[in-house]
A and B are shown apart, each in its own frame.
Chain A
C-alpha cells in the first residue's frame, strides 16, 4: 500500500499496486485469460456430463452393480463373459454390423445417383429436394411410426398395392397369404429394418456428396468435356477420385448413425420376431433398462465403443488432410 498527501489540501491518496494491474474489464482484454474463461463452461459440461458418465459406463461394465445395489464392486471380465456367451448378444452383434455395412453399401450407390439428380436442373426440383430430405429432417421416432403403419401386418398399403397388381394372394408370386407380414417374418423384418436405415441415412450421404460435387472446380469439368470424356469416364476418373474423401466422411456418419441406433429397431420390431432384428444398442436397452441388469447393459453398450474409435481416427485423418491441402 502506498500513500501520497497533497501539500495544498492535505488530502491523502492511497493506492495499492493492484490498482495498476488490469481490473476485471481489462483483465478480460487479455486473450490468454479470456480464451480459457469463454471455453471453460463447455469443457466443464462435457467432462461432467459426458466424461463422467463414460467413466461410469466402464465402471458399471466391470462391476456387479444392480438397480437394488448401486455400489460398484469390481468383478473383472465376468460381465463381458456372461454377455458374450448369450445367443441373443451374438445375434445382436452380427445384426449391428450387418445393418450398418449393408445399408451403407446401398446408401453410397443410391446417394451417387440421387446427388446426380439433385445437381441437375429440372422442374419441381425444390419439392423433390424437400421430399428426399424428409427421412433425415423429421424426428426419427415419428418417422419410424410412419413405417410401422406402412409395414403393418394387416393394413400395409404395400400389401394392398401388391394385391391390386396381382402379385400377392393365392396363386401369385408372393402368395398365398393375403399379407406379406413385413415385421412378423424374420427375413422380411431384417429387410424392413435395413430399408428404414437406408431410407434414413440416404439424404445425409446425398447432401454431403452434393457439397463435395459443388467443390469440384468448374475448369476440371470443362477440361473433361473438351477432351470428349464420356459420362462414365468422367464419373470414374474425375468424380470418384475427387470425391473419395467426402464419400468417406458420408459413409462414416452413416455407419455411426446406423450402428449405434436403437430407435428404428425399438419402435419397428422391438428386436423381434424372436430377437431376429436385435442390435447391440437395443439389446443393451432391453437388458439394462427393461430387465434392470445395469452391469450387463453397460457391458453390451461398451461393445459400440471400438467401432466409434476407429471412425473417429479416420475422421481425424480426413480433417487433417483437408487442413494441409
Chain B
C-alpha cells in the first residue's frame, strides 16, 4: 500500500486492520450461522420428521439425523389429509380469515383516514390510544369474552372468532393505515375535489387507489394475526368441526399420550412456512407501525 510506504511509522496499523477485517468477516459468518441454526432448529426438525416412517422414528438404535428403514415416506401427509380433521381446520381458518379481513378493512380503513385527515389535532393521539388497545392481551380478556360470545349466541362456533378477532386486527390495522394515509399527499384529494368529486368520491377514486399497498399490507397482517391467534380459539371453540388450525392441530392431533408426531409436524409446517414467507415480505411495514414514530425513516 503506497500510503503505508509514505508513512513508514504506521505500517502495522494497516496490516492489523486488514487482518482484523478478515477476522471480522469470519465472526460475521459464524454469527450468521449461529443465529440461523438457533432460529431454524425446531422447523428443520419439524420438516425432517414429516418424512419419517414409524419404524424409523421410534427405533432407539437408529441415528435420528438420517433416514432409515421405511423413510422417506409421504404416508404421514396422507394420514393427515385423509384420516384427521385437518382439512376442516384449514377450511375453517380460511373462512374465518376472509371474514375477519372484510370486517377489518371496512372498519379500520375509514377510521385511519378519519384520524389522519379529518378529525384534526387529536387524531394522532387517538390513533396511539387505539394502537395501545392492540396490546391488551387475549389472556386478560378471554374469561369475560367467553360470556360475551355466549350472549351473542356464538359459543362453540367459528363465527365467535370472526366477531372477536377484529378487536385486535382493527386497532393494529388502523394504526398501520394511518402511516400510509400520512404519506399520501393532500393534493390528490384536492385535485379530485376540484374535478368535481365529493369528499367521499375523492377518497374512493383518488386516495384508495394510491393506498393499495397499504390495503394489501392490512390484508396480509390481518390474515397473519388471525392465524397466530390461539387463546381465544382455545377458550371459545371446543368442537372439532369448528376449530381453526392453531387449536385444531395442537389439541386434536395429540390424543392423550398418543402423538402422531410426523403428521402433527406436517400439519404445523404446511401452514407455518407459507405464513412466514408472506409475513417476511411485508415485514418492513409492520416494523414501521411498531416503532411508534420513534424512528424517522
Contacts and interface: CB of A to CB of B under 8 A. Distances in A.
Interface stretch (B73-81, B128-136, B207-215): B128-136
B106 A35 contact: no
Contacts of B264: 145, 149
Contacts of A101: none
Contact of A36 (B119, B224, B271): B119
A301 B139 contact: yes
Contacts of A28: 198-200
B148 A134 contact: no
Given A57-B141, A122-B32, A261-B139, A41 B110 contact: yes
A292 B296 CA distance: 48
B111 A253 contact: no
A49 B167 contact: yes
A118 to B, nearest CB: 8
Interface in A34-56: 34-39, 41-43, 45-46, 49-50, 52-54, 56
Contact of B171 (A34, A46, A141, A211): A46
A264 to B, nearest CB: 10
Interface stretch (A5-13, A168-176, A314-322): A314-322
Contacts of A129: 280
Contacts of B124: 323
A146 B297 contact: no
Given A34-B114, A45-B107, A132-B39, A288 B143 contact: yes
A56 B148 contact: yes
Interface of B: 25, 28-29, 31-32, 35-36, 38-43, 45-46, 49, 57-58, 60, 63-65, 106-108, 110-111, 113-115, 117-120, 124, 126, 128, 130, 132-133, 135-137, 139-148, 163-164, 166-167, 170-171, 174, 198-200, 224, 227-228, 230-231, 234-235, 245-247, 249-250, 261, 264-265, 267-269, 271-273, 275-277, 279-280, 283, 286-288, 290-297
Given A54-B140, A322-B294, 14 more contacts: A34-B199, A35-B119, A38-B114, A57-B144, A60-B143, A113-B31, A142-B249, A146-B43, A160-B65, A267-B250, A284-B139, A288-B142, A323-B293, A325-B296
